[in-house]
Amino acid sequence: MSPDVTVLPYERAFTCEAGESILAAALRQGLFLRYGCRHGGCGSCKAVLVDGDTAGSGSSFALSSSEQAEGWVLLCSTTPLGDCTIDVESMELTQEEFESGDGVGSFEAEVTGVAALAEDIRGLRLALREPDRMSFGAGQFVNVEVPGTTEVRCYSMANAPQHADQIELIVKLLPGGRFSGYLESRIAIGDRLRLFGPLGQLRLRLSHRKVLMVAGGSGLAPLLSMLRDMHLKARPRTVELVFGARRRRDLYLLDEIARLAAALPSLEFVPALSEPDADPWAGETGLVTEVIARRHPSLDGYDAYLAGPPAMIDATIPLLTERGVRRANIYFDAFLPTGP
Amino acid sequence: MRKSLVQVHEKSKSYDWDFPDPRPKYPTRYVVPKTGKDPFRMLVRDYVRMEEEKDSRTYGFLDGALRMQVAERTEPRFMEALKLTLPDLTNAEFQAVAGVGMIALGIRNQELRQGYYAQMLDEIRHTQLEMALRRYYVEHAPDPAGWDITQKALYQHPGGHVSLALFQNFNTGDVIDSVINLNVVVETAYTNILLVATPQTAVANGDDALATTFLSIQSDEARHMANGYGTLFAVLQDESNVPLINEALERHFWHSHRGLDALVGWQSEYGAVVRPWCYREQWQEWVADDFIGSYVDKLTDFGVEPPQRLAKVAEDVPWLHHSTALALAAIWPLNFWRSDVMGPADLEWFGAHYPGWEEVYGPFWQGHAAMADPSSGRLMLQELPSLPPFCQVCQLPCIMPRPDRSDIRVFEHDGRMIAVCSEGCDWIFHRWPQAYAGRRSFWEQYHGWDLADVILDLGYVRPDGKTLIGQPSVSLERLWTIDDIRRIGYEVKDPLVA
């Protein structure tokens, strides 16, 4: 059962997974609600249950009996038992804040460059025109409208947030894909594209731990943005970037990574090939999971950032937890192909 | 809160006045703008109604606890450790009452001040709740010895000194530094471990009364965190404040780590028979991921720097409370609670959750168990080459983070030998010597005394005048007496006296 929760005064509905709290479901789906401890203790996420049945487990100190009688619930520790309606007016959020804690907006951008980074990887450079800047965090993505349609495709920014007037995307070409088709055959410098963003929760989190980044396919983009941001902010962390590809020619932007590694001595770059061919190769070989397992008997004290195909992410997470990364410290964006 | 109340709150702010003397009662080095945001918009009438209900529930629970025999059912080990940690916490609340009063008078900003007025009432409420709980323990604990003198003992005992040294920063020095210490570091980074996670341990060890009291207190903390956030954002409007904020954060993050990781970790693991969680994991979640990874992270865009000693703190966290436990057990005759023996199940748990624990701490606990009975005629103190000095800043014994990796530094200051436990405390001492130089150490006070006379001077004997309050185990058939100690003939020697 996946009940729908309608939020007043915005009349916006979203779906809760079984056993998921209303707060967790809202945040997961890119909405914003006020919260504090997330354990039913502080009362910051109080809202009125207008309709429907819920199960709750918050502290009675955070929610007095008179408040309970008036229908108040704690969203962090309330799960819907069926479709329900809540009123969050008391949180005093504007509709925009509610809909986009991250400040999602609509942008018009101009194509300024397209480059073939690898056989099936394209680099797309855009200049923002209206509005002419986007405030985003390294690791976030945008939805790009496929020209001539209302469909969108999501791509992570590869550029640093400091260059807020530009958007640099890395796109994997998919056979028969609409945006791929546009990139391969019709795109021209000066084209105008519609973007929505920034979106997503992936960001480099401040911590005392070392960082392991794992990229596959076009997943290099958000990690590159983080590294560029780190360099420009002069806040180096100890980072190991494992970049997996099938063959030597599938790796890309190696000069840019080398430039960053020279500027960030605490960055170690580990390219890895799963199917090396005749091209000379002295680096790591095997799937990224094999490479990580070989290099790290223990990953205790690491944060991990993963971006790439879902299969790579699914295979990497259990390895990381088994080697000592706390599950809460594994952050990822799975790049699901949207097709055609 | 209903909308109409928001409007009323807006109106209430207009009841401000211009002071003839523009200087606040307590001066600050920070530039504090006149605008700021009271994050909770709480009116007194709503506040009182809400808190009254919370109070009624908590005090009502104590009546119920009497019928349910909560004090009798609580694990003795848990109850004994609380004799130190609960007064330590009440001291924090009390210092916060004074601190928030000072802050409210030091900030000329009506919106922020409203938040601090409410917090001051909260802190008084917390002090009263904890004193009521202590009274409940005095009357109903199976072994009340020690509970009756906790207020006096707090000021005498090295474990109380840790709390005094830590929480006096709530109300000394610059008012905005105090906000960064109280509202930002202690309440935002650390109260979740103390007040959300500890009730779980309390319930697992049979103490529903403590759990109820702590949950009641915790429900106020979000407002205090918001007060700190509101003030930080107000002072961040002026760039000249940024270096001051960073220095205060550095100082108080380090000092809070020393005091709180040592004491809260000790209570939750060495004061427990059932351990529902592991302290270092809780620290990773609440302090590293939530406070540093989210709260401080968001402030970095405004120039706030994460504490430079964060990595060192993370390195020390897994060990600090084990070393604290070792020290408190080694000085058990000087305690006003009963220590305990760590048995095979405890040793197994520590070994499983802290790889390497057994090699460092295992032999100590085996020795402690072997000497627990008075018939042994031995004290662990006799096994030590010398007593460890107490850190002049955080007041922990200088065996941190681990006895085999002590980072102690000893130096002369104004003709007196001073010890600090670490590079962090060394930096704090030399940056603010006037705040720390004057303290006399516990060992200095009793240099040359027989241990038995120290115990009598402290008053840590039971009503028969002979049996010690402190014991090495909660399950002895015969308790240690002052005669047992006198027979041993142990002389206290201040390690800093040449």
In the predicted structure, residue B61 carries a pLDDT above the cut 60: yes
Which residue from B50, B130, B40, B119 is spatially nearest to B85, judged by alpha carbons? Answer: B130
Q: What is the pLDDT of residues B10-25, one digit of tens each?
A: 777 777 777 788 778 8
Min Cα distance B193 → chain A (Å) is 11
Q: Which of A4, A183, A141, A22 is nearest to A91 (CA)?
A: A22
B123 in catalytic set: yes
Which conformational region is residue A122 in: left (phi greater than 0), alpha (psi within -120 to 50 degrees), or beta? beta
**Burial (CB count within 10 angstroms: exposed 0-12, middle 13-18, buried 19+), residue B63:** exposed
Q: What is the pLDDT of residues B266-282, one digit of tens each?
A: 999 999 999 999 999 99
Report, as an integer, the average pLDDT of A123-140.
94
Residue A44 and residue B292: Cβ atoms within 8 Å?
Answer: no
Q: Give Cβ neighbours of residue B172 (< 8 Å, ≥ 6 apart).
A: B178, B435
Q: Which two tokens stand for residue A52?
A: 């429907």
Fold for A210-334, please state it.
Rossmann fold (3.40.50)
CA A335/CA A102 separation, integer angstroms? 20
Residue A42 contacts B, CB cutoff 8 Å: yes
Q: How many CB pairs under 8 A join A and B?
A: 75
The residues on B that touch A, with CB distances below 8 Å, are: 1-3, 6, 49-50, 53-54, 57, 192, 195-196, 215-216, 218-219, 221-222, 225, 281, 284-285, 288-289, 292-294, 296-297, 300, 306, 310-311, 313-314
Range A105-199: architecture per CATH:
Beta Barrel (2.40)
pTM summary value: 0.85
Q: Region A79-85: what's the mean pLDDT?
A: 93
Q: Is the peptide bond before A297 cis (omega within 30 degrees of 0)?
A: no
* Interface touch A41/B6, C-beta < 8 Å: no
Hey, what CATH topology would domain B32-240 get? Answer: Ribonucleotide Reductase, subunit A (1.10.620)
Cα angle at B292 between A100 and B402, to 5 degrees? 160
Is A92's CB within 8 Å of B221's CB? no
CATH ID of A4-99, from 3.40.50.300, 3.30.365.10, 3.10.20.30, 3.40.190.10: 3.10.20.30
Helices (H), A165-272: 178-181, 220-233, 254-263
Active site residue B187: yes
Task: Return the pLDDT at B1.
Answer: 43
| pLDDT higher at B39 or A247 | A247
Say which amino acid occupies A122.
R
Asked if the model's pLDDT at residue A209 lies above 80, the reply is yes
Partner residue facing B219 (CB), from A59, A205, A326: A59
Which pLDDT value is given to residue A105?
76
The catalytically annotated residue of B80, B93, B250, B269 is B93
- 3-class state of residue A327 by DSSP: helix
Measured between beta carbons, the chain A residues lying within 8 angstroms of B296 are: 206
Q: Which residues touch B18 (CB under 8 Å, ≥6 apart)?
A: none
Q: How confident is the model at residue A334 (pLDDT cuts 50, 70, 90)?
A: low
Which of A27, A32, A35, A37 would best serve as a mutation to test chain B binding (most B beta carbons within 10 A)?
A: A37
Of A41, A89, A208, the CB nearest to B196: A41
Residues 6+ apart with CB under 8 A from A139: A156, A200, A202, A203, A204, A222, A225, A226, A305, A333
Q: Among A34, A60, A208, pick the best mutation site for testing chain B contact (most B Cβ within 10 A).
A: A208
Q: What is the pLDDT confidence band of residue A112, given thresholds at 50, 70 and 90?
A: very high
Pick the residue with more confidence: B203 or A148? B203
Query: Cβ of B216 and A61 within 8 Å?
Result: yes
How many angstroms separate the CA of residue B448 from the nearest CA in chain A?
Answer: 45
Lowest pLDDT segment from A19-28, B253-262, B398-407: A19-28
Contact A31, A6 (CB under 8 A): no
Question: Least CB-CB distance to B289: which of A43, A301, A328?
Answer: A328
- Confidence band (pLDDT; 50, 70, 90) for B490? very high
List all residues of chain A from 229 to 258 with a beta carbon under 8 Å from chain B: 235
Contacts of A258 (CB under 8 A, 6+ apart): A269
Tell me the chain B residues in contact with residue A206 when contact means C-beta distances shorter than 8 Å.
292-293, 296-297, 300, 306
Q: For residue A134, how many other CB atoms are within 10 A of its CB?
A: 21
pLDDT band, very low/low/confident/very high, at A37 (cuts 50, 70, 90):
low
Per-domain residue ranges of chain A: 4-99, 105-199, 210-334
Q: Among the options B80, B187, B250, B269, which is catalytic?
A: B187
Verify whether the Cβ–Cβ distance A61 to B310 is below 8 Å.
no
Rounded to whole angstroms, what are the CA distances from B71 to B185, B220, B477?
33, 26, 21
pLDDT of residue B27: 84
Which of these, B399, B486, B476, B493, lies nearest to B441 by C-alpha position?
B493
Question: Which chain B positions have a beta carbon within 8 Å of A41's beta carbon?
Answer: 195-196, 215, 218-219, 221-222
Per-residue pLDDT tens digits for B172-211: 999 999 999 999 999 999 998 888 888 999 999 999 999 9
Q: Which of A39, A42, A237, A326 to mutate to test the interface with B (most CBs of B within 10 A)?
A: A42
Q: Which band of pLDDT confidence, cut at 50, 70 and 90, is reported for residue B40?
A: low
Least confident interval from B187-201, B241-255, B462-476:
B187-201
Confidence of residue A102 (pLDDT cuts 50, 70, 90): very low
Assign A279 a pLDDT band (cuts: 50, 70, 90).
confident
Question: How far, in Å, CA of B236 to CA of B303, rounded?
Answer: 9
Are A39 and B196 inside 8 Å of each other by CB? Answer: yes
The first and second tokens of residue B461, run together, are 């004997």
Burial of B66 (0-12, 13-18, 19+ CB in 10 A): middle
Select which of B75, B123, B250, B269 is catalytic: B123
Span B64-74, average pLDDT: 92
CA distance B384 to B386: 5
Q: Do A207 and B289 count as a contact with CB atoms less than 8 A apart?
A: yes
Q: For residue range B410-432, what is the model confidence (pLDDT) as tens digits?
A: 999 999 999 999 999 999 999 99
Lowest mean pLDDT of A112-116, A171-175, A336-340, B33-37, name the range: A336-340
Q: Please count the residues of chain A.
A: 340
Q: Whole-number mean pLDDT of chain B?
A: 93
Q: Is the pLDDT of residue B2 over 70?
A: no
pLDDT computed for residue B493 by the predictor: 97
Neighbours of B30 (CB within 10 A): 23
Cα of first residue to Cα of last residue in chain A, in angstroms, is 30
**Would you state the pLDDT for residue B45?**
79
Sheet holding A330-334, edge to edge: A284-285, A267-273, A239-245, A210-216, A302-308, A330-334
Beta-strand pair A78-80/B416-420 = unpaired
Structure tokens at A161: 């947030």
Of B1, B53, B293, the CB nearest to A207: B293
Q: What is the per-residue pLDDT for B378? A: 97
Contact B70, B206 (CB under 8 A): yes
Is the CB of A41 less than 8 angstroms away from the CB of B216? no
- pLDDT of the residue at B33: 84
Lowest mean pLDDT among A108-117, A146-155, B407-416: A146-155
Instruction: Mark whether B383 is an active-site residue.
Output: no
pLDDT of res. B363: 97
ipTM of the complex: 0.81
The CA distance from B296 to B302, in Å, is 10
Domain with CATH 1.10.620.20 in chain B: 32-240
Catalytic residue at B250? Answer: no
For B449, counting Cβ atoms within 10 Å of its Cβ (0-12 exposed, 13-18 middle, 19+ buried), the class is middle
Look at B61 and A89; give whichever has higher pLDDT.
B61
Residues in chain B: 498
In this predicted structure, the answer to whether residue A297 has a pLDDT above a threshold of 70 is yes
Query: Across the interface, do A207 and B300 touch by the CB < 8 Å criterion?
Result: no
A90 with B2: Cβ contact below 8 A? yes
Confidence of residue A154 (pLDDT cuts 50, 70, 90): confident
**Inter-CA distances, B177 with A2, B163, B269, Å:** 48, 18, 32
Whether residue A162 lies within 8 A of chain B, CB to CB, comes out as no
> Measured between CB atoms, which of A64, A206, A328 is closest to B306?
A206
